[in-house]
Structure 1
Amino acid sequence: MLQSHLDHFVGRFSNTALSKEAASPTLSRSISDNFIDIGSDCRGTISNSFAVDLCGVQGCSEHGRIAKDEVEEGDYKLVAYKHNRLPFGLKSSPALLMLGLYKILIVDAETDPPELQKLKRLIYSLSYMDNLAVTANSTEDLQWAFINLSSIFAPYKIYLQQFFTNSSFTNSSLQEDLDVMSETSTDDKVKLLGLSWMRDSDTLATIKLNLNPEATTKRQILSTIASNFDVLNFNAPLLNRARLFFQRLQYRSDLDWDTHLTMDLQREWTNITNQVNSAPEIKVPRGMGKRSDSYKLIGFTDASKQMYATVIYMKNLDSGKVSFVLSKNKLLNKTVAIKSIPCLEFLAVALGVEVLHDLRQELSGPSAS
């Protein structure tokens, strides 16, 4: 995902789509049947499921269209209704969204011209929920991608809401459209795939770490650690001390989830939070080179009695540039911790090989499949 180029944009799309009109559904038709039906010739379908619920007229009308017209008020029976919007906030929402994008960008692209197919597969490979990205080797290629966005998503009633780029369009009319899309075009920092993107310097960063020094229970400490979103684990070395501290609390049988820590433990937690919160924001360059360049993935592993970890770098063989990609670590539980250091080193190597293999699949891009 980080094998990006000179010109880049990130777009955010609306979360609504028209559902296909179903022909006289029956109550015996299962949700799984309709789920499979997403892959058929249904235009504009992201959410096309029928649900069966025990409800009356008023209850069903809040969720969707009632399939059975003649239901007396207060007569609670099994009725079927269907969603006309993609429901966000549900456990199934991310899967429905990615299935919809797969239908739009992969399945329906089979008859498109090769260049348009390549663009759609690139967008899909750089998607993070409703945030989609495209990389290009020139401003002209980026302009062409921008022009084709409407024709790709508009037939499915999905419209571009925001558009950010680190490039200026040479076409004045396209630049005007871009200015309308970029409501905060004067802001240097924008969100990109779960990270912060500084467009002027073309660097990526996570949100500055912030641990709550006032947390006094296991529940509060776990909550404040988990609230620091770091998709590529940039801040792993800084957060590891806090994670190890929480692991020690887990082994304490005298501490329940809402039991207050002792004064000694509270002082130790305060020292940890002061160290983490004073750390600067970590930034890494976004661009690594062109897709036509050759690259080498380089992994390092290490292990201790407390954890084992791997750090991955990528080297551009054409320019010689080396870039940080990600890190991953695993804390050891009591069972694994009794193993010898050589054994833990082997576990670290296995983790590194696993991450390298997954990264190679991801970074190979859409043309690899």
Structure 2
Amino acid sequence: MGGFDLRKWNSNLEEVSEAIPEHHRGSAHPLSFNKEDRVKALGLEWHPQRDMFMFNIHAKTLSTGGPTKRTVASTIASLFDPLGWLQPIMTYEGQVFMQKLWLQKLEWDDKLPPELVYEWQTYLAEMTNLRVIEVPRWIGTTSKDRIELHGFCDASRTAIAAVIYSRIVKHSEEPKARLLTAKTKVTPLAVQTIPRLELNSAVLLAKLMNQVKASVVSWTDTATHYWTDSTTVLSWLDDHPARWKTYVGDQVSEIHASSTPEQWYHLRTHENPVDCATRGPQQS
């Protein structure tokens, strides 16, 4: 992909570190399990002692003095979340808020009106809670385990979202679920029906599942399950794309290209784990 050399590799295992050329290492020595050891990248931290990823939010990021559209955009962009673990905060709360600023037709250095200042301060308070979030680096699999992939999608008037979990089934233990990745998109300002938005979220999930399975060769034939709370989407998927009007047919055809109707299941809205990414954590 572009012919670039990947550099700044880090490991807490000496054998792995020694196999990496020195000019490609992030540190001269393998990381120990000292609680002070950590690797930072744009606000994302890896703690080798607990083998956890965390988010480091700096105090200067949380400055609330006289917010403008420019400082709001800068703060939202400062969160590094490549796998979508923070989607309810980053995309729903952050990008939806930015959309409101554009609708207000504010210039970049205009101060926010009082009602939006209060909403922004609420968002900043939620950002401080990100410091306590920990995501395991290792999802807990071994060669003897059975792995299932479960994807969930949802939509609202403001956002569509998809999330994927792995379900690890071990011989003598309770199955364990691990968050893998998520993706959220703010809906366009042009009005669309909820069923169409739900269908768009199903397309988003199908694409995201393809990316996950392509990233791990051994997962190509892994049991895959797709979940939606929309019975309308399930009815569209149960029939041939040619039966539906062009827009719906095109979306159904894209989903059918990488999944079968038998892989799609229904769940109730209040059981959908991606609900918070389309309605915000305060509403879920």
The equivalent residue for 1:162 is: 27
Residue 314 of structure 1, aligned match among 166, 170, 180: 166
Amino acid at match of 1:326: T
Match of residue 276 from structure 1: 127
> How far has the Cα of 1:344 moved from its partner?
0.6
Match runs of 1:1-369 below 5 Å? 95=2, 99-101=3-5, 129-132=6-9, 144-149=15-20, 153=21, 158=23, 160=25, 162=27, 181-182=29-30, 186-191=34-39, 195-208=44-57, 210-239=61-90, 240-253=92-105, 255-288=106-139, 289-291=141-143, 293-318=145-170, 320-335=175-190, 338-364=191-217
> Cα distance, 1:198 vs. partner?
2.2
How many pairs are equivalent? Answer: 213
1:324 positional shift: 0.7
Q: Percent identity?
A: 23
CA displacement, residues 267-294 of structure 1 (integer Å, 9 cap, x when unaligned): 3322322233245421122222125644
Query: SS of the residue aligned with 1:287?
Result: coil
Could you tell me which runs of 5 or more consecutive residues in structure 1 were left unpaired when the two chains were aligned. Answer: 1-93, 102-128, 136-141, 164-180
Provide closer, same or farther for how the CA distance between residues 273 and 366 of structure 1 changes in structure 2, counting only shifts above 3 A: closer
The AA in structure 1 aligned to 2:177 is V
Instruction: Assess if the C-alpha contact under 8 Å between 1:206 and 1:234 holds in 2.
Output: no
Deviates more, 1:258-267 or 1:324-333: 258-267
- Unpaired runs of 5+ residues, structure 2, are 222-284
Q: Distance in 2 between matches of 1:307 and 1:223?
A: 21
Shift of 1:341: 0.8
Equivalent residues of 1:235, 1:282 under 8 A apart: no
Q: Which whole-Å CA distance do the structure 2 matches of 1:226 and 1:273 have between them? A: 13
**1:193 Cα deviation from its structure 2 partner:** 7.2
Question: Residues 261, 145 of structure 1: CA spacing in aligned structure 2 closer, same or farther, 3 A cutoff?
Answer: closer
TM-score (norm 1): 0.50
Code of the residue aligned with 1:331 in structure 2: it is V
CA distance in 2, matches of 1:213, 1:242: 15
Q: Secondary structure at the match of 1:197?
A: strand
Contact 1:234–1:282 (8 Å) recurs in 2: no
Q: Distance in 1 between matches of 2:182 and 2:168?
A: 19
Q: Residue type of the partner of 1:297?
A: L
- Superposed CA RMSD in Å reads 3.2
**Counterpart of 1:213 in 2: which secondary structure?**
coil
